[in-house]
Structures are given as structure tokens and as C-alpha cells.
């Protein structure tokens, strides 16, 4: 592999939701010591970078995405010493640590906001977005909050509204204010100086708002089952041109440190997403590509989207792919357990950096959460829309003990009823398990550089199959064929004979089979074939 390929290009990223990964102190909530205790597992799996969701002090209105201190650790998760031990343990295993950074908003309990709210003439008043009511007494504009209702909250003491893109407990910072930029960049330096290897920037595309605060237009495609936020098209409350200046300045700061990187959380169409790579690729290293999270599981659509993405990438822009995260239903619950195996092969054979959400390597599913145990504000604020994110945030399933090895006490969210069968201990010794499939795919990718630095060449897609080549001069040529349906299918190469050996399959019994002319696959099967001339 070329020495010019950096760790965030060659390695697999693994997202840890810290509340749900491992409880080390018996309070039912995961913590830093718990993550440290499971690093050998991540190393065995083949993970090269661990992305940890927020661990900062927070009132937990949005479970850590409402930060009250960017420079410390929430006692729920441990201490700064615990963090430093985690960082050291990750680096000792030749892995990297990516921290979640939430620069768009703070907690309403953050000292900055408490000052800002104290009076209209406080020096930090302009650190947040404050607006008068309109002359008729109405809201400053029609912008909506992602978690329901208006995005404007009235402050009786100072007789103005403040803006919050999410909960009212999460006031948005005013990133047009240079002092805000200076303060946030200082926080980034604090963690970089400690040795963290990068940041995942939360809601990057929200950080700058329209200077004129114009009303958002009505969404003509809104449907009643959608979140209330989707009633409007957020063309003025997000994705403003000036945000790219901020992203570039973040990148310049990161570039002062060797081999640090930045991921951007950006839910935008591809033609807008790729702009976040920045001019001359001096923006986000990896603007998150959520296609596989949001597209219908249809081979023609997926193949077309991959082609569009590949064609849209700027010169030198590095692709990336995501199957799951803490905000979306798990892949097994979206497409079924059988197809999730095929999805794993897709994720780990496409060109670019893959990100795995904890537990997806086991085939964990969304867990039914009783209404009285629901925690997520998105679900609680829109109870009739079934939008809670809790089902995808349940405890990691380590073994078949009472609480699945996550904790010795009842955890903060329920463990799945299938955890006695879907867990690390059971799957570790089963060569046909989802866990072993993920591990084999990760190690196969690492051992065959063509899957990291080789080109992606589309071959075929119909109502059942997607097929593509991974090719690089001086290496074997691989054909990937995935059956995205439940029915058998047959595949032939157009314009050339198909001759090769299946080297890895979602069905291990197929491996080492020689293929001549026609490949026959059962439903829910995928194969990697080494082609021979």
C-alpha cells in the first residue's frame, strides 16, 4: 500500500455511543473505563479508528449534544484521567481516537449562554442569536426546530427571542461573531494538544444562518408521517455559503498538527455535500456520505447513487460510506438480517473509508422501547410520529448474561430480547456469524490494497443485482457481485468471459468455488471473486 495513504483513508472507523457500549461502575450507563476495557475486541475486529460520541459535561437534555463545558469530561463517563487512559490505550494498539465536537450550539447551562442571557448589553450577548419580535408581536421568522415546534424561544427577562435549531435547551452559537470562532478554535486546540486524532463535527451544515433571517419556504413534498421540521425547506437556516469559510479555518487549524482529520455531519444532496471538501480539498476530510442510510434498498438506485457520488467528488476528494449511526434506525431493522450481511459486503468493498456503528457487526436490531422508558427528546416531542432514536441506542450485546455483559444492573435502556443469541460471545465462535463476516471483510480489505487505493468500476445493476470491479495495476482484479433481493439470480459478464474464484462470500460454503461464465447466487448472497484472464 502506498505510504501516501493516511490512516483515515486506509482504516475502518467504528462509532461508540458511550452510554451504551460498556458500563464499568455498575450505574447502568456506559463510560470511558468501559470503552477502554473493550479495546482488545475492537483491535481483534480490525478497527483502526474509534469515534466516540460526546463525553463532555452536559445536563443531558439531548444526551451529551447539549454541552456545558467543552474542556472537561462528564462525571457520568469518568474523569480526565480516564479519558487519557483511553487515549493511551487506543494509541498503544495503533488505533486512532476521533472525538465528537458540537460547535453549532451549547447547553443553555453553558457559562457563555448564562452570560449572554443575563442582559442585552452583556459582552457575550452577540455570542448567540437574539432577535426582537416583529412589530405585530409575532416570531422573528418561521424557522422550525428539528425536535419539534418553533426554533425561537422567548426570554422574558431580556424581552427577546433566542434561536435554537434543536431543543430550547440548545441555543445556537453565532458563528459570525469572531470571539465565538476564537473560543471554539481554542477548544479544538485543547483536545488536539492532548493527542486526539480528529473530530467529527456535529451538524456542520447548520453553523451559519442567513444574515437576513428570511422565512424558509414551504416544503411541497411534506407528508404527515414526516417530522414537523420537514414542513419547511431549511434553505435559509442551514447550508449558507459562509459556512465554508469556517470549515476551511477549522481545517487550517487541524493541518497545524500531523495527520489529524475532520469528519463533517452533513445531511445534504450529493451536489451540495461535496462542496464541503472545500476548494483544493481544504475543507472537511470526510463529509459524511449518508446515501446507504437514506436510499431505498434497490440495486438500480444504489448503483446510480454510487456513480453519481464518484462523479461528483472533487479531484483528490476521498469517498466514505456509512450504514448506521446513533440518529437512524439500525441497518437490520431497515433491510432485514439477511440483507444486512450483503450490506456489510457492500460497505467494506466500495471505494473509500467505511464507518461501522457499534453493534451493527453483530446484526443488532432496533429495540422496542416501552413508552414509559423512552428517553430521546426527538421521540418525546413528537410522540405520534414514531421518531424516537432510542431503539438504535440500546446496550451493546456482549454475552448471554442477564444484561448481556453490558452492566451488572438494569441499564439506562433495555437490552434486546434476542441478545442471548445476538452477542459477541456466541458469534465469536460461529464461522457463519455476522461478527465473523465483518471481521473477515475488514481483514480482507486490509490485506488487499486494491480495496483501499484501487478504482471503482461499475459493471451491472438490475432489479436484483449490483456488480462492480475493484482494480489497480499490479494487483489482482476483484469482482463484487451482490444479490440485493431474496430470490435466486444469475450473472454473466458483458463483453468478457467470467472466469475466477470466489475468495469471500456471505455464504462461506461458496468460497474457493471456481466460476466459469455464469455465477449463480441464492437470495441474500454476495461474493468477492478474484478474476483470472
The residues, any chain, with a CB within 8 Å of residue 28's CB and separated by 6 or more, are 407, 409, 410, 411, 412
211-219 own/partner pairs: CB under 8 Å, 24+ apart: 211/176, 212/236, 213/131, 213/140, 213/141, 213/143, 214/141, 215/141, 215/142, 215/143, 216/141, 216/142, 216/143, 216/144
Instruction: Indicate the DSSP class of residue 59.
Output: -
57 grid coordinates: 459535561
Beta bridge partners of 152: 163
DSSP β-ladder status, 49-52 and 96-101: parallel
Cα angle vertex 392, ends 389, 394, to 5°? 110
Distance CA 41, CA 44 (A): 5
Q: Among residues 221, 256, 473, 517, which one is catalytic?
A: 256
51 grid coordinates: 469515534
Which class for 269: exposed (0-12), middle (13-18), buried (19 or more C-beta within 10 A)? exposed
DSSP β-ladder status, 465-471 and 152-155: unpaired
111 grid coordinates: 457559562
Q: How far, CA to CA in Å, does 412 sit from each of 19, 61, 395?
A: 8, 15, 8
Is 472 known to be catalytic?
A: no
Q: How far, CA to CA in Å, does 192 sit from each of 56, 128, 153, 299?
A: 15, 25, 35, 41
Q: How far, CA to CA in Å, does 11 sit from each of 181, 283, 303, 530?
A: 31, 20, 24, 22
Question: Is residue 165 within 8 Å of residue 216, measured between CB atoms?
Answer: no
Closest CA to 229 of 219, 220, 239: 219
Question: Is residue 501 within 8 Å of residue 514, measured between CB atoms?
Answer: yes
Beta bridge partners of 262: 199
Q: Among residues 31, 62, 169, 202, which one is catalytic?
A: 202
CA atoms within 13 A on the CB side of 12: 27
Is 202 known to be catalytic?
A: yes
Beta bridge partners of 144: 150
Distance CA 454, CA 456 (A): 7
Instruction: Indicate the DSSP class of residue 525.
Output: -
Catalytic residue set: 202, 256
Amino acid at each position: 500500500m502506498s505510504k501516501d495513504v493516511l490512516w483515515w483513508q486506509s482504516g475502518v472507523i467504528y462509532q461508540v455511543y458511550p452510554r451504551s457500549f460498556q458500563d464499568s461502575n455498575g450505574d447502568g450507563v456506559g463510560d470511558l473505563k468501559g470503552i477502554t476495557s473493550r479495546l482488545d475486541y475492537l483491535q481483534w475486529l480490525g478497527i483502526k479508528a474509534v469515534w466516540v460520541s460526546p463525553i463532555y459535561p452536559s445536563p443531558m437534555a439531548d444526551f451529551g449534544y447539549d454541552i456545558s463545558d467543552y474542556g472537561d469530561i462528564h462525571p457520568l463517563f469518568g474523569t480526565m484521567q480516564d479519558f487519557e487512559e483511553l487515549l493511551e490505550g487506543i494509541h498503544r494498539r495503533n488505533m486512532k481516537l476521533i472525538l465528537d465536537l458540537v460547535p453549532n450550539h451549547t447547553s443553555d447551562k453553558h457559562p457563555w449562554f448564562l452570560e449572554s442571557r443575563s442582559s442585552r448589553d452583556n459582552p457575550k450577548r452577540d455570542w448567540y442569536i437574539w432577535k426582537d419580535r416583529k412589530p405585530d408581536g409575532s416570531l422573528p421568522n418561521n424557522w422550525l426546530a428539528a425536535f419539534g415546534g418553533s426554533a425561537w424561544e422567548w426570554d422574558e427577562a431580556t424581552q427577546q427571542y433566542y434561536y435554537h435549531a434543536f431543543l430550547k435547551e440548545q441555543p445556537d452559537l453565532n458563528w459570525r461573531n469572531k470571539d465565538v470562532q476564537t473560543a471554539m478554535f481554542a477548544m479544538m486546540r485543547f483536545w488536539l494538544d492532548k493527542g486526539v486524532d480528529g473530530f467529527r463535527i456535529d451538524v456542520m451544515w447548520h453553523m451559519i444562518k442567513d444574515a437576513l433571517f428570511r422565512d424558509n419556504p414551504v416544503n411541497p413534498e411534506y407528508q404527515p408521517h414526516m417530522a414537523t421540521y420537514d414542513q419547511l425547506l431549511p434553505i435559509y437556516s442551514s447550508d449558507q455559503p459562509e459556512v465554508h469559510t469556517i470549515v476551511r479555518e477549522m481545517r487550517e487549524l487541524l493541518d497545524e498538527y500531523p495527520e489529524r482529520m475532520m469528519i463533517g455531519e452533513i445531511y445534504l444532496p450529493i451536489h451540495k455535500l461535496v462542496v464541503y471538501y472545500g476548494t483544493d480539498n481544504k475543507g472537511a476530510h470526510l463529509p459524511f456520505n449518508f446515501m446507504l442510510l437514506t436510499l431505498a434498498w434497490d440495486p438500480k438506485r444504489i448503483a446510480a447513487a454510487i456513480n453519481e457520488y464518484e462523479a461528483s467528488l472533487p479531484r483528490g476528494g476521498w469517498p466514505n460510506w456509512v450504514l448506521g449511526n446513533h440518529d437512524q434506525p439500525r441497518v437490520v431493522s431497515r433491510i432485514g438480517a439477511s440483507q444486512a450481511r450483503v450490506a456489510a459486503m457492500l460497505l467494506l468493498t466500495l471505494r473509500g473509508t467505511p464507518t461501522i456503528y457499534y453493534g451493527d457487526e453483530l446484526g443488532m436490531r432496533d429495540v422496542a422501547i416501552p413508552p414509559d422508558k423512552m428517553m430521546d427528546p426527538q421521540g418525546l416531542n413528537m410522540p405520534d410520529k414514531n421518531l424516537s432514536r432510542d431503539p438504535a441506542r440500546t446496550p451493546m450485546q456482549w454475552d448471554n448474561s442477564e444484561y448481556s455483559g453490558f452492566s451488572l444492573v438494569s441499564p439506562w435502556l433495555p437490552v434486546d430480547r434476542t441478545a442471548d443469541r445476538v452477542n459477541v460471545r456466541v458469534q465469536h465462535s460461529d464461522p457463519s456469524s455476522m461478527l465473523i463476516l465483518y471481521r473477515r471483510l475488514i481483514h480482507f480489505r486490509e490485506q488487499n490494497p486494491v480495496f483501499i487505493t484501487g478504482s471503482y468500476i461499475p459493471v451491472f445493476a438490475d432489479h436484483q443485482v449490483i456488480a462492480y470491479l475493484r482494480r489497480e495495476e499490479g494487483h489482482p482484479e476483484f469482482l463484487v457481485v451482490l444479490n440485493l433481493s431474496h430470490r435466486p439470480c444469475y450473472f454473466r459478464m458483458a463483453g468478457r468471459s467470467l472466469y475466477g474464484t470466489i475468495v469471500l462470500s456471505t455464504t462461506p460454503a461458496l468460497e474457493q468455488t471456481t466460476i466459469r461464465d455464469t455465477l449463480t447466487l441464492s437470495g441474500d448472497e454476495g461474493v468477492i471473486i478474484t478474476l483470472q484472464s
